[in-house]
Amino acid sequence: MNFVEEENILEINRVVMTFGGLMALSNLNFQVKKGSIKAIIGPNGSGKTTLFNIITGSFPPTKGTVRFKGRSIEHLKAHKIADRGISRTFQTVELFGNMTVMENVMLGCHTQVRTSFMASGFVLPQSRRKEKRIRENALKILKFIGLADKFKDSADSLPLGEQKLLEIGRALASEPELICLDEPAAGLNETETHMASSLIKAINAKGITVLLVEHDMKVVMNISDEILVLNYGQKIAEGLPEDVRNSLSVIEAYLGVEA
């Protein structure tokens, strides 16, 4: 474990989310320690992605608060939350398929460097300098995720494994303090899964807090500092990987109760 300090970067307090009559999350409380890797697991439909969407501002919770670095963010729109330092990937890859690998990462730098419409239209020197900085930054990230030699390819043309890596790279480009990864290993083969795990560890080693939704238990058990288990929108277990592994309620939720 490499906690920078015993401080919570993210606090979820009494969050409730209902869609019509369906309760997707009911009264959820948990914290993420700064500098840690926290995994959220649970059967399909247990509310994991809903939780991610609330944290990253796709929609506000019905009730409850989300505090990031001590300030509540649950009312903010997605782009404002990105500005605050939370970045994410998507369960089904949401790359910009009409752009190159490089451009995808460059777009990730959007929060860091912003040019006005007029400045870009008149190609003011400042906007040119910014572009140069973004390009250098993007290339560094591509080297980090191992896709530097494919920078010119269209994002659509990459195999799924590399698309997933690229999504992580794009999320990193915004220099987040918290990165939310929605099933980074889904659909990957064993080698790719291994690469994704070590990448997540490397990201965490840079001091970035990782919040992870994942079904691949090997990945989860290997890299997480803490695990939260959801079932039907409720927390059924939370703690260290070895504790969660042996928790009876978790086994029940996944495998059912013996008759």
- Contact residues toward other proteins (CB under 8 A) are 56-58, 77-79, 82-83, 87-88, 90, 94-100, 102-103, 106-108, 110-111, 113-117, 120-123, 127, 130-131, 134-135, 170-171, 173-174
Q: Would you say 99 and 155 are in contact if contact means Cβ atoms under 8 Å apart?
A: yes
What's the CA gap between 218 and 193, in Å, rounded? Answer: 10
Q: How far is the CB of 125 from other proteins (least distance, A)?
A: 13
Closer residue to other proteins, CB minimum distance, 78 or 251: 78
- State the DSSP string of 139-199: HHHHHHHT-GGGTTSBGGGS-HHHHHHHHHHHHHHT--SEEEEE-TTTT--HHHHHHHHHH
Closer residue to other proteins, CB minimum distance, 37 or 134: 134
Closer residue to other proteins, CB minimum distance, 110 or 194: 110
Give the side-chain half-sphere CA count within 13 A for 62: 14
Q: How far is the CB of 199 from other proteins (least distance, A)?
A: 19
What's the CA gap between 207 and 123, in Å, rounded? Answer: 36
Q: How far is the CB of 256 from other proteins (least distance, A)?
A: 34
β strands within the chain, DSSP E: 8-19, 22-33, 37-41, 63-68, 71-72, 86-88, 178-182, 209-213, 226-231, 234-239
Closer residue to other proteins, CB minimum distance, 140 or 218: 140
Q: How far is the CB of 6 from other proteins (least distance, A)?
A: 29
Q: How far is the CB of 10 from other proteins (least distance, A)?
A: 16
Closer residue to other proteins, CB minimum distance, 4 or 123: 123
| CA nearest neighbour of 94 among 41, 49, 45, 148 | 49
DSSP 8-class letter at 238: E
Q: How far is the CB of 79 from other proteins (least distance, A)?
A: 5
Q: Would you say 57 and 51 are in contact if contact means Cβ atoms under 8 Å apart?
A: no
Closer residue to other proteins, CB minimum distance, 31 or 174: 174
